[in-house]
Amino acid sequence: MSVETIVIVGAGQAGASAILELRANKYEGKIILVGDETHLPYERPPLSKDVILKPEETKIEILSEEKLAELGVEVIRGNGVVKINSDAKTAELKNGDVIAFDKLLLATGGAARRLANFDALGKHVYTLRNLEDSQALVPVLQPGKRIILIGGGVIGLELASSARFKQCDVTVIEMGAMVMGRSSPRVLSEFLLKQQQLAGVDVRLSTAIVDCQLDGEEIVVTLQGGEELRADAVVYGIGIVPNAQLAVDAGLDVDFAIKVNENCQTSHPDIYAAGDVATQLRADGQFRRVETWENANLQAGIFARHVMNAEHPVANPAWFWTDQLDINYQFVGDMAANEWLIRGDIQPELRQESSFVLFGVTDGVIVGGITVNAAKDMRHLKKLISKQAAFEADKYLDLSQDLRKLVK
C-alpha cells in the first residue's frame, strides 16, 4: 500500500525532526503537521535559560514558515487533534475538520505534573513547559523577588540558576535526598548542590511541604516541622505527564505513556509515537521512556525510516545536557554505574572555572560518562561506551595523556 498522506500530531522537537527525516529519506507524499499551539516548532531546552535571560535575542524556532513551505508541509496551528479513529484512519480537529491519513505520528509530548493545592491559589504560581510559561516568568524573576522552586531536578536547578542571574532570592525545595537524584550519581549531585549554594541558593533537601496559602500578595509555604517560608512567587517542576489521552481514546496500548515497539509503532501498525509521550520496547525486553532532546530526534528518525523501509538510525548511548550557573554538564550512558571515577579535580569553590570528567564503570567496563566544562571530551566518552571499553585507571585518569589519543 502506498503512503500518500502522513499526519504528524504535535509540533515540537519530535514532530519537526520527523518532517526533516521523511524528506531526507525521499518521502514525496503529503505531510500535515498539526499543533495545538499557535507557534511553529520550537526548541524547549532554552525555555528555562536563554528565553528568560535574553528574550529579545534568543531564537528557538526549529522550522521557519519558509522552510516548512520549502519542504512541502501543510501546517495547522492552534487547532489540535481531539480524536483519532484508528479503524477509519482519520483525525478530528478541534474545529470539527477531519483529516484522513495513511500513517500518523503522535508526538504530543507531555504536560507539567500538577500540584493541585498550589494551582488552587490562583496567582503567583507557575510551571514551565511551553513558550508562554517561559515568557510569563520574565516579569516575575526580577531583582529582590523571593522565589520558591519546588523540585530539585534539571528544570528546578536551571530555573534557580536563571533566577539568581536575575538577582532573585531563591529557595529550592526537594523531597529527595539529592538534587538531580534521578539523573546523576551522588558525586556529581554533591557538586551541583555546592554550586547552587555558592551562588546563594537556599536548597532544602529531604523536605516535604504540608501546606500553602495566600497572604495578601505573598505565598506562605509551610514545611513539615512547621517552618513557614514566604515568597513572591512559586514555580514548581516535579516531572511531566505524557499527553497520551488521544491514544487512550483511540484504543491503543497505553500504560503511563504510549507503548511502542522497536519501530516506534503503537498497537496499531499505522500509528506511531515518538518523544516524551512514548515508552519504547528496548533490547532487554523492557519498556522505557526517555525524556531527552536526543531521544525525540532518534525516535522521529526511527519512525521516518520505518515508513520508508530504510535502515534504522544507529542508536548512540543516551545523552543529555544541562547548563547551570555558566557551567556546562553533559551526560552519556548509564547513570546507575556501580562506581564513578574522576579525571581531574573536583573543586567546587572554583565555580565555573572547574573542569573534569567522570567515568561510570560497572564490572570493569565503561558504561557511563559525565563532562563538566569539558564538552570536547564527550565525543570520546561516547565512543568508549559504544565499544564497551575496559576501564584502565592508569590511562584514563592520567591528565598527561590526551583522551582523544586513547580512544581508537
User: Average of pLDDT values for 43-56?
Assistant: 95
How would residue 1 be classed by pLDDT, with cut points 50, 70 and 90? low
Mean pLDDT of the chain, nearest integer? 95
Size (the chain), residues: 408
Domain presence at residue 316: no
Nearest to 37 by CA among 8, 79, 66: 79
Calpha distance 151→238 (Å, rounded): 5
- Same domain flag for 244 and 106: yes
Same domain, 232 and 140: yes
Q: Which of 307, 338, 361 is the last residue of a domain?
A: 307
Structural domain contains residue 28 = yes
The number of folded domains in the chain is 3
For residue 321, tell me if it sits in a domain: no
Residues 6+ apart with CB under 8 A from 305: 21, 25, 311, 312, 313
| Same domain assignment for residues 137 and 57 | no
Regarding whether 232 and 118 lie in a shared domain, the answer is yes
Tell whether 255 is covered by a domain. Answer: yes
Verify that 262 and 336 share a domain, yes or no: no
Burial letters for 112-128: b for 16+ Cβ neighbours within 10 Å, e otherwise?
beebeebeeeeebbbbb
SS3 call for 169: strand
Place of cell 509503532: 265
Out of 216, 236, 256, pick the residue that ends a domain. Answer: 236
pLDDT band at 154 (very low <50, low <70, confident <90, very high): very high
Say if residue 177 is in the same domain as residue 249: no
**381 vs 403: CA distance, rounded Å:** 9
Instruction: Report helix, strand or coil for 405.
Output: helix
CB 46 within 8 A of CB 133: no
CATH code at position 57: 3.50.50.60
Q: What is the mean pLDDT of residues 148-168?
A: 98
Cα angle 144, 149, 152 (rounded to 5 degrees) comes to 135
The distance of Cα 173 from the centroid of its chain, to the nearest Å, equals 20
Mean pLDDT, rounded, for 173-181: 97
Same domain assignment for residues 297 and 224 = no
Helices (H), 71-153: 116-119, 131-137
* pLDDT over threshold 80, residue 115: yes
Structural domain harbouring 392 = 326-406
Asked whether residue 30 falls in the same domain as residue 95, the answer is yes
**Cell of residue 333, nine digits:** 550512558
Whether 268 and 212 share a structural domain = no
d(CA 334, CA 316): 12
Q: Is 195 inside a domain boundary? A: yes
DSSP reduced 3-state for 172:
strand
Closest CA to 360 of 381, 383, 386: 381
User: Which CATH number is 349's domain given?
Assistant: 3.30.390.30
pTM: 0.94
Query: pLDDT by residue (tens digit) across 21-36?
Result: 999 999 999 999 999 9
Q: Is 320 domain-assigned?
A: no
Query: 307, 339, 361 — which closes off a domain?
Result: 307
- b/e for 15-32, b at 16 or more Cβ within 10 A? bbbbbbbbbeeebeeebb
Residue 350, Cβ neighbours under 10 Å: how many?
12
Q: Residues 312-353: pLDDT tens digits?
A: 877 788 999 999 999 999 999 999 999 999 999 888 786 667
Q: Averaged over 45-64, what is the pLDDT?
A: 95
